[in-house]
Each structure stands twice: as C-alpha cells, then as structure tokens.
Chain A
Amino acid sequence: MRTLLLLFCCFFSIALHAQAEADKLIGVWEPSNGKARVKVEKIGAKYFGKIVWLREPNDPQTNQPKVDKNNPDESLRNTPLKGYRILKDFVYTGKGEWTEGVIYDPENGSTYSCVIKMKDDNTLDIRGYIGVKALGRTDVWKRMQVTGK
C-alpha cells in the first residue's frame, strides 16, 4: 500500500512538473527586432501566440490600424494585426521544446513551420523553417514583464 501511494505521489508530481514546464511558454514575448509583443496562451492542449502590441500600430499609408494586407487569402486581408495569432498549434514535446506549430510573418504573408526552444526561463529560440529545419532562421525572443500603467 505504501509503495503504491509512493508511486502515485511520484507519478503525480512528475505530471505536475511536466505541465509546469510546458506552461512556461505562457507569457508575453518580444522578438529581437522589437517591432511587436506576442502573448502566448493555451487553448486546449496547444499553445498559441497573438500580437498584443505593435511598435507601429498604424499603417503609414492609410494611418489606420494595421491589417493583414499580405495574407494569401484575399478574404482575410482586412483582419486587424493587433490580436492576430502568429504562433499556432504548438505542442510541448519535452526538454524545453514546443513543436508541430507554425509561425506567420505578416510582412510577407508567409507561414513557416516552427519550433520553439526555451534557452532559459526568459529566452526563446524561435526557428521558422521550410520543409527541413536546416532551411530556416532562428530569432531570439525575450520574456516581458508587465509593470502596469
């Protein structure tokens, strides 16, 4: 009985630890170019990131809030960029790595396969690639802390 209880406790704590590790991705992150801030949240068992802040919120041409004007699907080109989900469908696969997701670049309307690796609690290596990981580019994102108004 004691052994079983011990096993149960071990299993439970490992599971909680795994969940806590996976949820470390949740938060607000800034890409290295500082042009946007992306909030990562969890829907179901997957992680999604949406733009919550833009350094240039308005399109200089129209002076209106930026929209996803480069989307390959013409019917979605009027979608506001603020609030846009650019990280989609990431699944935690252990060892500080989230895979199976995609990243969208609103500047050219391209969607890339993507893998996220957490270098430390406040640093992410985000690699967008096409087909194989070798054909890609890694950017470093840093965690942001909300300090209040």
Chain B
Amino acid sequence: MNRVILPLIWVAAWLPAPALSAQTPDTLPPAASDEDYSQYEHVQFADDGARSYCHPKILDLAPQRFVSIGWDAQASYRMQSSALGEYQGDDDPAVAEESDVRYTGGLRLTANVPVVSRNSVVWQVGANYWDVRYDLNPVFALSESAGLHARLADRGLRTLGLNTTVFKPLDAKQFLYVQAGADLNGDYTFSDFQPLRYLRYSAAVVWGKRPSDYKQWGIGLSRTYRVGELNYLPVLLFNWTSPNRKWGVETLLPARAHVRRTFSPRSLMLAGFELEGQSYRIEALSDGDNSFEIRRSELRIRLEYQRQIAGFFWVSAQTGLRNDWRFHGDELEGGRDFFRGFFGDQPYAMLNNLGNALYLNIGVHLVSP
C-alpha cells in the first residue's frame, strides 16, 4: 500500500508548490504572448467604474510634512512698550520700557498623521509645539512699565496646539477642505501649565476646484489668529504649476503666498511671504480671571530652499525679513476673547513696537507620499 500512498503524498505535497512557495526560475511560466497594446484602449469596467475623486495636491507642490523638527531664530531688533492703559491702535503713547532684543527663537515641532487617507477622503490630525525664547538687554524701564520685557526674557512664549484637517473631494474636479485647530499660547511652562480655558480656536472652510494636475483654486472663510487677534477673513487658495513644471505658485491667502521654482522632484525653492500669529497669555500681567494677551503677528518675507536628503526625509532652510505686524496687548475680561476686526474701536491695554529683523529657519522633515 505504501508504494501507492507515499508517491501520492509526495505528489500532493509538490502540486501546489508553484503557487504557494518560492518558484525556481526553471519553472517560469511562458512569457506573455498576447500583448496587443491597442486592445487596452478598448476596455470597459468589469463592474461599476471607480468613482473619480480629485487629488488633494497638484503636481510639484512643496511636499506636505508628516513630522517636522525645526529651529527658528531672529537677529537683533529693538522692542518698545507702553505702560498699561487704554489705547487705540494708532495712538503714540510714551515708551515705558525699551530693550535691545539680541535673540528671539526656538524649537518648532509639528506632526500630522493621517487617520483616514483614501482617494475619497483624507482626514489628518496634527499637533505642534513652538517655543520662542528671548534674550534681551534692557535699555531703560520706567517705574510705570508693566515689566513685559523681563517676563519675556524669563519665560519666553510657547504654543501647543492640536489641529485636524479633512479634505473631501466632491467629484473629480471639486473639493471641500475643512480645518480646525485649538492652541494654547502663553508664557507657561510645563511645570506651570496654563489653564485650558485659555485655548484659542481657529477654523477654515474652503470650497475649491482642481481643473487639472497643474492647477487648483478655492475660496472660503476662516476664523483665524494669524493677524494676532481673532478675526474672520476670506480665504483664497490658488496653486499652479507651469506646463514645463519648472515654475509654480502656492497661495493660501491671507496666510501665505509663494512663487516656486522646481529644480527636480527632489529640490525646490520658494519665494514669498507668510503671515504668522497667535494670541499669547502673559500670566504675570493677567489680573485675576482676566487674561492679558500679546497679539503677536508678523509678516515673514522669505526665501526657502527645500531638498530631499534620503528617502522621504527632506531638509529646508529659510531666510528673510521678519516684519512686525502687531505685538500689542489686550486685557480680556474673564479670559473671553472678543472680535475687533479691522474697524473695531475696542482699546488695547498696551502698545508695543518691534523693529524688523532678519531671521533664519532650518528644519528636517518626514514628508508625505
């Protein structure tokens, strides 16, 4: 019986081998012999075709960053502050405190992780931590000064934020982009943490079109702190790549606008500006439940070079002029933020004036596919 069974088992053991285990080259199947390439023009979906959705990006956009570690530093400038009081933005109060700021800068960490990333929807959750340290040399401080400069030198400013973005393609050409974020900004430290009720919320909704791989645009509305204080601003998205793929434009107004020069899929240069801002609570100047907040906003006119170093790791170097947009202080009653907009007449609690400064930003990034 064994003479029958053993060969049978042996055969059985080997029959599936070509499919299930490594196949030796000797058993290669015959090479394809029916490659009529014109036939692939005459095809139809075996069932319903996949619904086409537009891609979140266009060709050659600067790569999106999953993880980013950067360092930002500003050259020296002069900082002047008024005493605490009530001022309109265009007032010119006496300077109560003046310092030469020798260094402003610190670490910037950001992370964006896709929770869902399909062609039909992309949902990302991100976190960021920015640290701004001040090294300053006081020129003078009158007795009525609030002591802001000393506080900045002692504690610096910090931003810790969470954000989420959803890109929802509506069809092959249209999309919806929704972003929301919550940031805790202030002079807190991790051992002396700021209460979460001082979180500041921002959001944006953009509807757009992506007519081709070379162009996308969109319009929307944002609740933003980029101008330092709460504001509601229209958003204009416009990304474009030239047909020869050497030039492009990357714009998300009012946040940023850049002209791009693409040297290769692995290196590019951006020239343009970014508006950066947040509202920072200064604990020492906050009275009781009130929140004294520095409405920091700066326009950065800049040149940035990005290139791949290995695989999906990229480096960037950015330099330009940091232009003071606003650094005024507001006293928020009960810590509740308010909307002043461009035309409101609510008074500031402190007016500050910062000289402009050159700055440098370098970073290493893990970029997205």
Contact = CB atoms under 8 A, between A and B. Distances in A.
Contacts of A61: 243-244
Given A43-B29, A136-B369, 10 more contacts: A19-B18, A19-B19, A33-B52, A108-B265, A121-B46, A130-B311, A135-B114, A137-B369, A144-B44, A146-B42
B19 A137 contact: no
Contacts of B114: 134-137
Interface stretch (B4-12, B149-157, B232-240, B319-327): B4-12
B38 interface: yes
Interface string B275-315: 00000000000000000000000000000000000011000
A48 B264 CA distance: 28
A48 B88 CA distance: 69
A137 B118 contact: yes
- Interface range on chain B (Cβ under 8 Å from partner): 35 or more
B15 A135 contact: no
B41 A32 contact: no
- Interface range on chain A (Cβ under 8 Å from partner): 35 or more
Interface string A55-74: 00000110000000010100
B20 A1 contact: no
A138 B118 contact: yes
A88 to B, nearest CB: 16
Contact of B52 (A34, A44, A52, A135): A34
A118 B122 CA distance: 21
Interface in A128-146: 128-131, 134-146
Contacts of B20: 15, 18-19, 45
Given A123-B50, A146-B40, A140 B59 contact: no
Interface residues of B, dominant DSSP: loop
A25 interface: no
Contacts of B22: 44-45
A96 B9 CA distance: 28
A52 B59 contact: no
Contacts of A140: 50, 118-120
Contacts of A12: 12, 15-16
Nearest to B54: A33
Contacts of A131: 312
